[in-house]
């Protein structure tokens, strides 16, 4: 998702697609491995009704599902970055007069839609593993469970779209806005430091704004959504949830998620930039 951080600046040339995929894949793997426990804590907090399986003491429980996330991260990065690259190129031809920030945001939204086809099964398996749901105690058990009913892999498709599309579009436009603001406030600061700060601020802001969609998606995928909350459209489901549990329930688990995205944003952008800077010298 951070590929558009480079594209958001008209002064920077678009890196080769292979470089984008390599940088995005490595950055995603590093941030996932470093901050996965926060992801698990967010999932368990959002599910509210607790783990569906038996409790598992120790640090091992915080890393349950990490292997699935790392394994599926590469195909997701390939699909997202490829779709984003082609969408950006096509939009620059179709609407050449459009502002760069707008083109970047729209390309990212399109890429989010395309990548959801790969992302939803990944999140479903990850969420089920994190709460140790029956039939998902191990990778082998998970594969056996979904083989019996493969359609369940796309549970939460609409809620994932409702979260990812605005997340990426907002993420890129806010990153550009924060960049302009910080450059005006701290003109003497070096660009890399401002870039990392922009990434952190953007990650925290957008993760908070899209958190209700993430919460609903988690509940649907782990099976703790109730009644019409499981099947109604996204807006109606959120209204039902707020009416039953209170408006504050829509932000249950926002603290670990915002902290995760704040820290992960800086790590991802750092790795992503480092790979792109060294790419021409590789080989």
Q: pLDDT of 105-127, one tens digit each?
A: 899 999 999 999 999 998 999 99
Q: Between 182 and 193, name the one with better pLDDT.
A: 182
C-alpha span between 253 and 270 (Å, rounded): 26
Q: Between 132 and 193, name the one with better pLDDT.
A: 132
> Which residues 6+ apart lie within 8 Å of 142 measured at CB?
68, 125, 128, 129, 135, 136
C-alpha span between 234 and 254 (Å, rounded): 19
Residue 12 has what pLDDT? 37
C-alpha span between 271 and 220 (Å, rounded): 33
Residue 239 has what pLDDT? 94
Q: Between 231 and 2, name the one with better pLDDT.
A: 231
Angle between helices 254-278 and 191-209 (to 10 degrees): 140
Residue 150 has what pLDDT? 87
Sign of CA pseudo-dihedral 1, 11, 170, 189: positive
**Averaged pLDDT score across all residues of the chain:** 83
Rounded mean pLDDT, 187-206: 78
5-32 tens-digit pLDDT: 433 343 334 457 888 888 888 988 999 9
237 pLDDT band (50/70/90 cuts)?
Answer: very high
Q: Is pLDDT at 227 greater than 60 in this prediction?
A: yes
C-alpha span between 186 and 243 (Å, rounded): 45
Q: Is pLDDT at 209 greater than 90 in this prediction?
A: yes
User: How many residues are recorded in the chain?
Assistant: 283
Whether this prediction's pTM lies above 0.85 is answered by: no
> Which percentage of the chain shows pLDDT scores above 70?
88
Structural Rg of the chain based on CA atoms: 19
Angle between helices 17-47 and 100-130 (to 10 degrees): 50
- Domains present along the chain, CATH in parentheses: 11-281 (1.50.40.10)
276 pLDDT band (50/70/90 cuts)?
Answer: confident
**What is the dihedral angle through the alpha carbons of 246, 52, 213, 107, rounded to the nearest 10 degrees?**
170
Report helix, strand or coil for 111: helix
CB 204, CB 36: distance < 8 Å = no
49 pLDDT band (50/70/90 cuts)?
Answer: low
Highest mean pLDDT among 51-65, 72-86, 259-273: 72-86
CB 24, CB 78: distance < 8 Å = no
Alpha helices in the chain (DSSP H): 3-7, 17-47, 66-94, 100-130, 139-148, 157-185, 191-209, 211-222, 234-245, 254-278
Q: Is pLDDT at 146 greater than 90 in this prediction?
A: no
Residue 50 has what pLDDT? 53
């Amino acid at each position: 998702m951070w590929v558009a951080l480079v594209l958001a600046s008209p002064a920077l040339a678009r890196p080769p697609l292979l470089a984008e995929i390599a940088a995005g894949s490595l950055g995603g793997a590093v941030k996932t491995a470093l901050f996965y426990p926060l992801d698990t804590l967010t999932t368990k907090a959002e599910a509210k009704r607790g783990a569906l399986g038996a409790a598992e003491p120790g640090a091992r429980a915080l890393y349950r599902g990490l292997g699935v996330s790392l394994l599926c991260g590469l195909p997701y990065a390939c699909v997202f970055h490829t779709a984003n690259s082609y969408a950006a190129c096509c939009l620059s031809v179709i609407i050449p007069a459009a502002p760069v920030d707008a083109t970047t945001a729209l390309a990212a939204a399109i890429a989010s839609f395309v990548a959801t086809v790969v992302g939803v099964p990944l999140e479903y398996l990850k969420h089920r593993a994190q709460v140790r749901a029956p039939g998902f105690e191990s990778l082998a058990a998970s594969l056996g469970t979904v083989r019996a009913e493969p359609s369940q892999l796309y549970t939460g498709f609409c809620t994932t779209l409702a979260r990812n599309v605005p997340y990426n579009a907002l993420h890129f436009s806010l990153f550009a806005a924060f960049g302009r603001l910080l450059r005006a406030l701290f003109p003497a600061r070096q660009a890399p430091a401002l870039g990392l700060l922009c990434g952190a601020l953007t990650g925290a802001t957008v993760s908070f704004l899209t958190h209700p969609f993430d919460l609903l998606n988690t509940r649907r995928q782990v099976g703790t959504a109730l009644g019409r909350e499981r099947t109604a459209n996204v807006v109606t489901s959120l209204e039902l949830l707020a009416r039953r549990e209170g408006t504050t329930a829509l932000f249950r688990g926002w603290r670990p998620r915002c902290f995760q995205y704040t820290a992960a944003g800086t790590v991802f952008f750092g790795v992503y930039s480092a790979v792109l800077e060294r790419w021409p010298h590789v080989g």
